[in-house]
Structure 1
Amino acid sequence: MLFANDTEEGLRSAAALVNTEDGEQLPDVGSLHRFARNWNWTGNLALDDAELGAVRRLRPRLRALWDGDEDYVVETVNSLLREFNALPQLVRHDSWDYHIHAVPREAPLSARMAVEAAMAFVDLVRSQELSRLRTCASPDCGNVLVDLSKNRSRRFCESGCGNRAAAAAYRARLAERAESA
């Protein structure tokens, strides 16, 4: 573990949310509900069209964090924390031990998503680890990822790009061997 569990979970869920923009993977309230359930979002879940719109509008703001330099990331993170009146508190609930929540459970889902991501990025900036933010190395994929590996070797997103690249490299080696035989 490189960071606290809530930081890692915040970074992973932010990347997953950003990646729903490609091919619009949140087309309706039902898909937002599945996303929230899969990422264990608790608290107030209105799950209506207004909330869906707010979550969709958050994605490009978070996506820009993967492309920005440290000053831009700090400015954006501070803006998100101010906008949603973040007030960090230690909480314990469900299967989680103490961790930080910076907005109440009653806050809209989009606010909680924004602040959780911002709080996770705070840890990245403080530990000078923004280089862990990456875009998938597959030439036909634009997904973002957070490299939480110890050796900083993660290159592909979780959409199967790494498997496709390995299979293509294997086929290329087979073809090369066949040509030289």
Structure 2
Amino acid sequence: HMLAVLPPWRSRGVGFALKLAQRAVCLDHGIEEVRWTYDPLVARNARFNLVKLGAEAVRLLPAFYGEMTDRLNRGDRSDRFEVRWRLRSARVERALRGEATRPPLGEPLLRIEGGPDRPEPVETAAAAGAGATVAVPEDHLALRLEDHELGRRWRDAAARCFQRCFELGLVAAWMSRTHGYVFQPQERVG
């Protein structure tokens, strides 16, 4: 259930090349949709999945793997997003050409207060009907290893906001460095 690239090979396009190969094999076999999971608090994976590949997160799977004991996940709830990658969609084609554009921002449901050393999650009472943003820390793992309780507060607050969005029929369509997740109504996601 885990895929990773060895540290010396990260940020060199290996993961992207693997996904392109997976897409080609799937299309050759008539498969037009692929789904997988990832930790929604790992911002770099969110940008890869939603922006670079053009996938969209369609639901939250709370504690999906139960208790995990590996070094990265020990002591943290294993919430995951289910990602849908519609291989022939215009959205995916644009993303793979590097032409994806950020959708309009909605109301902020979760924002960051405080500095980068101690970002605190702050939930808002905003309505999310036409779209929403849900901020997440840039490096949740480092934050959690430094302050487990703060990491747990982020996990809990984000899960509540993600669930609100999905219950309203929104999907996570983008990950912005400044605003976090951008949720949009399903019908607006190409």
Query: TM class by shorter-chain length?
Result: under 0.3
TM-score (norm 2): 0.26
Structure with bigger gyration radius: 1
